[in-house]
Structure 1
Amino acid sequence: MEDNFDTFDTSVWQHEVQVDGFGNHEFEWTTADPENSFVEDGKLYIVPTLTEDKLGKDAVFDGYNLTVPDCTSVNATACNVFSNASQGLVLPPVRSARLTTKKSRNIQFGRVEIRARMPRGDWLWPALWMLPVNDTYGPWPASGEIDIIESRGNDRDYSFQGRNYVSSALNWGPLSTLNRFFKTRGYSFERHKSYDKDFHTFVLEWSQDFLWVYVDTRIIRTLDLRFDHSFFDRGEFPKTILNGTEEIVLKNPWEGRSNAAPFDQPFYLIMNVAVGGTSGWFPDNIGGKPWLDQSSTAMRDFARAKDEWYPTWPVDVKQRALAVDYVKMWQKCQT
């Protein structure tokens, strides 16, 4: 695959349209609207905008039932949301986009090369990442996740890695409560600039024996992992877990497979700009974060703080966007 974004190729890219915030409980409604993703001058732009600019401010906070007609999820709760002031429920205050090659392009070992520029703006969460085509080893994270590059749109003085940092990680584990991503992650940073200023080339190289991610050159690796022992051994998981009141033996979902498992299956590409969320990507009580992850009104609290974070988003939508110059994917020849 090679896409230089002379046009928007619908045979390659599909929009994921949802209002449930996905697994991170993000604060955006992902759309197929050209306001939120468009191609211009040979570049793809994924742009966050305000929901109130489309539906009005009152609709975001009270009395609006939003049913998304072009929703791509089979889950009804991902296609419908309503605002109710008395219950603390709001519509997702931001609209953005999430593009995927799930139905068109994937690789099982090979190389992914993406030349892109990160967005600028508080609480923006750009990501270039991959998921397995099939849940061969079970539901997430048992079948793996490859986060090629993620960043945060916050300023350089944000104390938990602002837009002068990019990071990479693998997500894996037998259960969602036993995700060992922290054992397979790394980052790179700009000393005097930030990743929203210039385009950089983000590269994944992946084989049966290793997985690398680097920025511009192999010298600047954000992830350098050898598949020299199994992920179950790497995870140092407990031998038993509690299932209610019963203690049971923890099963190895990758037993009998190569040391690369679960990263030995076809994966497809995703590119998106998320906003906020309650997964811990933006830790509580750092950088003036206007919500708490465990709060039942986290998204409402974020929406109410618009006058704090929205002025940090550039008026020029191309500067607040994840801008992608090109995407290339190579499948490694099998030997």
Structure 2
Amino acid sequence: MSNTPGVLKKAKRLRSTLLEDPSTIDKPWVAVKDPFLRISYWLTWGIAFLGIAGSAIRCYFGYKSVLMLDGNLCPVLDEEFNTDTDTVFGTNSNWFREVELGGYGNGEFEMTTSSSNNSYVQNGYLYLTPTLTADEIGQSNVMNGYTYNLTDCTYNVTNPATLPGSSTASATGTTFDATAYYQSCGAVSNSTSGTIINPVQSARISTRNSASIRYGKVEVRAKLPRGDWLWPAIWMLPVNNTYGAWPLSGEIDIMESRGNGRTYPGQGINYVRGSLNWGPLPFLNAVAKTFGWWTQRRTDYGEGFHTYTLEWDSSFLRIYTDSRLNYMLDLNFNEPFFSRGDFPTVVENGTAPIVLTNPWVNGTNATPFDQPFYLIINLAVGSTNGWFPDNMGDKPWLDGSSDAMKNFALAQDQWYPTWGSDGEEKSLVVDYVKMWQLC
């Protein structure tokens, strides 16, 4: 083989792009069009259009589904507390102080009084303030050896009944319950039996003698109290128990809360709740089917004032705070309440089975919430009805214990410091109350 090296070819010199026509831009994708590009183009815009159209349709039907009060609203009550305490609670005033110590059916630990220590007006605000009974009668008397009588007890007014031998019976056909009267108007402390005088005094006021509405609107602006086991409420009861005793004639809870702190596992001061109580029997209260709540995530309802509102007519009921968007309960009366309750056909009344009948059979879909209701504002303390669940938040009593109130009182060093050092922190403070009747 020859060892002579091969002849190398000279590489072609690259053409400078500076010599090319600058007006000519190379577009290789134009030569052969990709059909998927056009498909993706229209698909993108099509999906965007469907999203916008779907959102618009959802907003429209969402707006249409929110029921509004249809008709004029006529003012029934407009209270801004710009006068003094004696005027607000005086003769022929808007507000009636309810005075009892029987627990109001909830096993509450406070007694409600007519004292200006517990309900008063100051600087244009109404205050409902809890105080210690020991400040009046001494701690030893609260626990033992004392008889306490509420001389201005209002049980006969709030629970009208036919009084034996009375020519001025407050209600015809209702038997006077002497035992309930004495339990509501007086108490005896006895260390042997474990009974004590209610350890806290507070207030409960209502418009039962002045203002009520059947359909309309209620608006209350208030700041809630802070303190363990405080139970503020703004709510309504029927003027007449048209369909029977509670809960047959209904109850409307515009706002309920707990004064316990934000870390309380049973929903504390950063939660407010709205609900309806109703049922054919006291032990068949169907409140669990008609309640809801709203919460403050960064603060609580004791930080400042909030507005609590009820809107209500024959077709719906809505309860909200500050804005209609912040609703606790939005209920459409689209079926009878007896059907809504899904109650059993037969129930046990403690002694024998009974066939359950519909107490609202001749009513409407709104029954029993189709009658006049009046407004109540109160500040309760503790209870044995389950509002404060057992074994939650270091609760110092058990609901089923006969010594529940006593155990609560014995734990005063735990809960009383949480009420704050002045009256402002532990008070339910109300700025104004407004009621309108649908007319």
Task: Verify same fold: TM over 0.5.
Answer: yes
Provide the C-alpha distance between the structure 2 equivalents of 1:179 and 1:244, rounded to a whole number of angstroms.
16
- Is 1:58 matched with 2:140? yes
Q: What amino acid is the match of 1:311? A: P
Alignment partner of 1:212 out of 314, 318, 333: 318
CA drift of 1:242 comes to 2.8
Q: Which runs of 5+ in 2 are unaligned?
A: 1-76, 157-180
Partner of 1:134: 240
Question: Residue in 1 aligned with 2:431?
Answer: 325
Other-structure match for 2:11: none
Report the RMSD for the aligned CA atoms in angstroms. Answer: 0.9
Deviations 1:262-320 (A, max 9, x none): 00000000000000010000000000000000000000000000000001011110121
Partner of 2:130: 48
Q: 2:364 aligns with which of 254, 258, 269?
A: 258
Match of 1:3 in 2: 79
1:311 is matched with 417
- Residue 243 of structure 1, CA deviation: 4.3
Aligned partner (choices 205, 209, 225) of residue 99 of structure 1? 205
1:221 to 314, 319, 327: 327
Opposite residue 6 of structure 1, the aligned amino acid is: N
TM-score (norm 1): 0.98
Q: Distance in 2 between matches of 1:105 and 1:57?
A: 39
Deviation at 1:80, TM superposition (A): 0.8
Identity of aligned residues (%): 55
Distance 1:41 1:80 in 2: 34
Identify the range of structure 1 (8-17 vs 177-186) with the bigger mean alpha-carbon deviation: 8-17
Q: 2:361 corresponds to which letter in structure 1? A: E
The code of the aligned residue for 1:275 comes to V
Partner of 1:196: 302
- Name the TM-score, length of structure 2 as normaliser: 0.75
Cα distance in structure 2, aligned partners of 1:245 and 1:301 = 32
**Pairwise CA distance, 1:244:** 5.2
Alignment CA distance shift 1:239-1:42 (3 Å): same
Q: What are the equivalent positions in structure 2 for 1:269-284 lying under 5 Å apart?
A: 269-284=375-390
Which structure shows the higher helix fraction?
Answer: 2
1:174 alignment counterpart: 280
Alpha-carbon deviation of 1:245?
5.1
Give 2:346's match in structure 1, choosing from 224, 240, 246: 240
User: Secondary structure at 1:23's aligned position in 2?
Assistant: coil
Higher RCO structure (Cα 8 Å, ≥6 apart): 1
SS in 1 for 2:293: strand
- The worse-fitting range, judged by mean Cα deviation, of 88-97 and 243-252 is 243-252
Distance, in Å, in 1 between the alignment partners of 2:331 and 2:268 is: 25
3-state SS of paired residue (2:435): strand
Query: What is the CA deviation profile of residues 118-177 of structure 1, one whole-angstrom value per residue up to 9, with x for unaligned ones?
Result: 000000000000000011001100000000000000000000100000001100000001
**Aligned equivalents of 1:302 and 1:244: distance in 2?**
30
2:115 is the counterpart of 1:33:
yes
The number of residues matched between the two structures is 333
Q: Distance in 2 between matches of 1:22 and 1:243?
A: 22
Bigger strand fraction: 1
The answer for the alignment partner of 1:70 in structure 2 is 152
Quick one: which amino acid aligns to residue 179 of structure 1?
N
Distance 1:243 1:167, change over 3 A: closer
Amino acid paired to 1:174? P
Q: Which runs of 5+ in 1 are unaligned?
A: none
1:117 is displaced (CA, Å) by: 0.4
Distance 1:237 1:107 in 2: 29
